[in-house]
């Protein structure tokens, strides 16, 4: 496995990572150790081992396999005796191990919602009634073709953002009455 020299922005669940951090203010040779904490859909914490003055953080395949996909916060903290200091914080995206997914998993919420809106549009245009759908625990009602078309357009924007890697952020959908 290649050794990284910085905390990664993306982790693939089920992969191993070796991260060597060289921090001149917190050398391992002076008794400093590092901890790396990752919190999101799951929580992972590892402690560094010394490698000369550097710090080696090792994330095993078993540890990352337990991480659910999504956006996580991380923190790297240095400790020496009773002195503890946060060195850096940030966010990290955990992507699912595609080989470990069951059929139907890994499909974007936005793709599911778009498919439901397209089905509702077809039903409403063919004289059907108002359509209620539930996706990932969220209920949505499609009352008119306009509702459906607005949701389809919004889902297209969100799917495009996901493909660009910027699919995170606040989500707001409004329906006309």
Are residue 15 and residue 68 in the same domain, yes or no?
Answer: yes
Residue (of 159, 121, 162, 165) closest to 140 by Cα position? 121
Does residue 45 sit in helix, strand or coil? Answer: strand
Give per-residue pLDDT as tens, 52-76: 999 999 999 999 999 988 889 999 9
Are residue 69 and residue 14 in the same domain, yes or no?
Answer: yes
Q: Give the Cα separation of 93 and 10 in Å (integer).
A: 5
| Number of domains making up the chain | 2
Q: What pLDDT does 166 receive?
A: 57
- The residue that leads in pLDDT, 99 or 112, is 112
Are residue 70 and residue 116 in the same domain, yes or no?
Answer: no
Domain with residue 18: its CATH number is 2.60.40.10
Are residue 57 and residue 138 in the same domain, yes or no?
Answer: no
Are residue 40 and residue 87 in the same domain, yes or no?
Answer: yes
Q: Find out whether 55 and 28 touch, Cβ atoms under 8 Å.
A: yes
Residue (of 168, 65, 152) closest to 113 by Cα position? 152
**Which of residues 50, 76, 99 is at a domain's end?**
99
Are residue 95 and residue 15 in the same domain, yes or no?
Answer: yes
Range of the domain at 72: 3-99
Whose tokens are 């778009």? That residue is 114
Are residue 63 and residue 95 in the same domain, yes or no?
Answer: yes
Are residue 73 and residue 20 in the same domain, yes or no?
Answer: yes
Judge whether 173 lies within some domain. Answer: no
Q: Give the Cα separation of 123 and 25 in Å (integer).
A: 65
Q: Given pLDDT bands bounded at 50, 70 and 90, which one contains residue 105?
A: low
Are residue 159 and residue 121 in the same domain, yes or no?
Answer: yes
CB atoms within 10 A of CB 103: 6
- For 27-101, where are the alpha helices, taking DSSP H only? 61-65
Give per-residue pLDDT as tens, 24-49: 999 999 999 999 999 998 999 999 99
- The residue that leads in pLDDT, 114 or 130, is 114
Domain with residue 124: its CATH number is 3.30.1580
Are residue 91 and residue 115 in the same domain, yes or no?
Answer: no
Are residue 29 and residue 73 in the same domain, yes or no?
Answer: yes
Structure tokens at 8: 């990664």
């Amino acid at each position: 496995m290649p050794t990284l020299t910085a905390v990664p922005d993306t982790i693939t669940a089920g992969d191993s990572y070796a991260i060597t951090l060289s921090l001149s203010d917190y050398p391992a040779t002076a008794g400093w150790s590092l901890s790396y904490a990752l919190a999101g859909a799951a929580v992972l914490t590892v402690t560094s081992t010394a490698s000369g003055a550097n710090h080696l953080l090792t994330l095993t395949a078993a540890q990352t396999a337990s991480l659910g996909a999504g956006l996580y916060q991380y923190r790297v903290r240095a400790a020496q005796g009773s002195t503890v200091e946060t060195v850096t914080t940030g966010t990290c995206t955990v992507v699912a191990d595609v080989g470990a997914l069951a059929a139907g998993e890994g499909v974007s919420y936005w793709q599911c919602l778009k498919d439901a809106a397209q089905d509702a549009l077809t039903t409403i245009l063919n004289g059907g009634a108002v359509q209620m759908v539930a996706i990932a625990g969220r209920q949505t009602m499609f009352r008119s073709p306009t509702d459906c078309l607005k949701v389809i357009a919004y889902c297209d924007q969100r799917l495009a953002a996901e493909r660009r890697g910027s699919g995170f952020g606040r989500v707001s959908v409004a329906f006309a009455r």
